[in-house]
A and B are shown apart, each in its own frame.
Chain A
């Protein structure tokens, strides 16, 4: 695939129009909703009768979706969900709030609305995993025994790995970060809004290793550049996008597109830059580069931390012990069945999984039916037949009002849900999907319906 297949639509930006690929066309009213439903496998067999004790750790996107599906698939099982967090954060909306598209209140929901009746919700955090004894221990000392365990803890944001950085700084000294929390996204928009009017130097970082929604740092940079154009600060702004190696995106076609799009829009891509330190009062960021340390002065910095397994899981016997996924202490699951490779009564789903692809809500949508169906098969003493193909998706917003709907699998092959939505062209329809429909699709996923 060559980059010229991408549409480089340029209203307001530096002019340079790449060849456009003619789209195939189609009506999108229902299609948009359907695409939002995305890659769905509802392989719900008739419920399996069992008295098994199933414990799910984490009541985020994956944990709640798993609880809903298991409730329908298992008849008579005791299902326990463990998570202290009562609020449900719609994280795919974080980027929209941080760039002034949405208000903050759209991000926060109530977990209780989605947890099915009959599920025992323990509002604590798991502090210890003992897979040899089939039990977990919570931070308030409860011992919870299980026959089967589903791990859906999401991941930890390692802001403390950046010297001088803490989440308390977000919104101050020109520091923004869309990852930390709904409130941090609002504070980030305050920082970006001021920047869009005044201009200055903006530094947008991307850490090494696996991160959730790898498109979010890219979208934040592109949308901020668009906001600068809209609010008059573009001529006075200089933008840097720092990446730890040479790649900007794991899907090669999109990687090539971004390597053209960023320079076209005047965003300097700084390769081999890893953020080491922030001097907040002086507004300086120091990076490790192959030529030694480099310090950049900034007016605004978008900080994206490295990410890893939550501490209690990292300290347990459950993470990968070697290989690329050992670095982040990611859960050692088979990349297809999502079953733990050493403890067969444990399954993983969501961001915590040490698999080559898939730290998105879209992946959760594809992973949960697989993990749940395979767990059910195991309980029923049947063969596990479901396999996760690495499906992940990112509505890559390039400007307010347009996006590219990128969907791909383990082989980095584009797997568009709907052939009439071209994964190589910026369109309004994917933007509308992101803005209006994906939250509905996400909620349907939480309820285990897609």
Chain B
């Protein structure tokens, strides 16, 4: 519609609010979506030369912790059959195991990634890795070591950091141990170890203490304070996490190893001290390879690994044909993956990190969209009210109500499109800048790079368009009802502030939000945080819609002290006759203050609650926890005079039912937890089939049904040689061992909470920053628009004898009044929501907790809003001072 375009061009100022809102919204969405879409699962680089991968069949338990394996023998047999296929150069099983290099007694590298760092030498071919020096390992105790870092991250051009320097001085490992002793010179090194790797606690704890609940990606969303770490063994953000320490950048291992890079040369063959699930070992280095990892003989690897989960095929010819042929050979024994299906082999630890990042990105997108609708609807309402006369004229000249409505939509669509076309590229351009911070805060895996995502670009623009149109709906409908005679009204009198629609929608939103809050305690844990957010958004919308009703009494109360002064009188009358305008200004303040109080308050309340909760629960004992490692080695545990408490995953089959369970190695018979027993329909005396992680199967009678599933430790050791101990409660003073540290339980728990808290704070800063930044701009813009439109009024005031200072006083007082009203209403709504959140938390932990109000954050955002409001309302006035009356 040409009229729409002309309007937009002519009155761009009055569309600036919509423009800015959509621009920002689209930028946030485009940036977040770009980051999100760039963060795809990717097959590990060590399969780069294996276009076809075969994995064991899915156990079908629906839990991604359950992996079926082949035994070494099964894998070898299958590999032999695959090897015979035409087009297959080699079919190589890839058994992997935990290995981490010890440098001066300190484990190096990323703890989680090290779980997959040990390989069979033959599997080096799958990544196309070749010897760069020396020879292949031929005997147990020999190893070829990789010369690139970032053990298991996807290939990326920039991952050229070198690591795994070889120890050339071949110090005996005893020296390493003594270094760790908490006395003498070792003290310093020990302290720094603690500091630089404190993040790994979460992962270690998760290995052993994690309850057997839902899979990772259902629990805990942004800013809610619910647990986002330590769900599965794949480890929390701590691994590469926000542990601000001397190495600065997370992925602490990388940082550390980078400083010692590049000593690997063929002439310097020696030994390397590593930590495995058994304990510290010293291996002879026979060569180096141009890829990451440790490569031992195939036999050695088969013994160390808990089964085989991948057979890689190197091919000559068309991979798809090979994949089809392989499918026929494999049948039900496995799944053939080629092309994008290979990406499912991403290590769980990386998936986990990406999942946490995705939570933040999703929250940003949601909040961005909400803020856009909020701001667009309030600026559109204001601009429609300001344009009543013009719209009336259009009606008089022959525009039908439908045409006026369509024109409003067309204008907004134009603006939104324009804003989107600029905002989306801006967001995309900003996305790569966020990649590094996201990696260092543990929100994306190391090696994460932002790629060109056209879907994000187009999607963000389209979303911006729809969101803007949704925002303008109410204003457009209202505008279409403007009678043609409105064109004759000199000064557009402020139309009725409350319309029936506003009442209805406002009350509905309020009721829905209230109902959601009331229902919180009965909702499943995982959905509570999103429910809380949803309730807050509904209540805030409701407050914004109903605010005109409250503005009148509020203004009367607030202005009372200054009633006698001319400024007071003018402010009072100006505000009371312009309720709609005040509501428009107050709305963004309301949203900002409301969301800030709610987000920060929820987190603070939950943090206090968790603190009480966690510290109260633990006895005053010391624990041995992993230190820079994903778990405790057997040697670390036996050194304490204890038996390693091993956990493993079992696939238990009874009849035609199969369940996946975490089991502890204990006692000398099989015990089932009640839940599995029920699920499997198995009772004491029944014989069930157990499939271990190494692929071996055995039949065992159920000896007991109790709280926990357990299986003889001997069997765990035998079938899960790679198993690690999560943590160990100490009964006597700790013996220092590599890759472990001891500390009082409650300190460990507090460390965990801090870890989590740091991540939540990060979420909080991002979310509040977004909302506050967003709505602050809206406040500024609304006032700019409102004051600009009232220039005539102020001119009249000046002609009537008011000095510029007086007019300024009136204007800024009005602006501040709007801010105060917004802040009060927003604060009220947030407190109501907070009470609901608290009720839910109290219900969850079964104890009364205090409501913590984030005064600091609230004061900060209110001040920002106030400053912006004053500047924005004074600016057009000062600018117009020169223009003739």
Real complex partners, A and B? no
Binding site for B on A (CB under 8 A): none
Chain B residues with CB under 8 Å of chain A are: none
